[in-house]
Amino acid sequence: MSKAISLRGRVAALSRSRPADDADLIHARTDLAVQTIRDYIIDRLAGLPPLSASQISQLTELIADGGDRS
């Protein structure tokens, strides 16, 4: 979780002085979102039995498609 806290701090610092469309701020927000998703996945999978190949494939496809559910 400390990486997420660090990334939150970076987003906060950048957002004070940069416009919303600033490339560094957008990158920092994206990094924070990815870290938050990663932490959530790790938390949800903790204690579960190993995923099947089909389940892993479903999650991989979702990520590869950028979250598009269509």
Q: How far, CA to CA in Å, does 20 sit from each of 1, 8, 36?
A: 25, 15, 20
- Cα distance between residue 31 and residue 7, in whole Å: 7
Least confident of 2-6, 41-45, 66-70: 66-70
Assess whether pLDDT exceeds 90 at residue 24: yes
Mean pLDDT over 15-22 rounds to 97
pLDDT at 1: 58
Residues 58, 41: contact at Cβ < 8 Å?
A: no
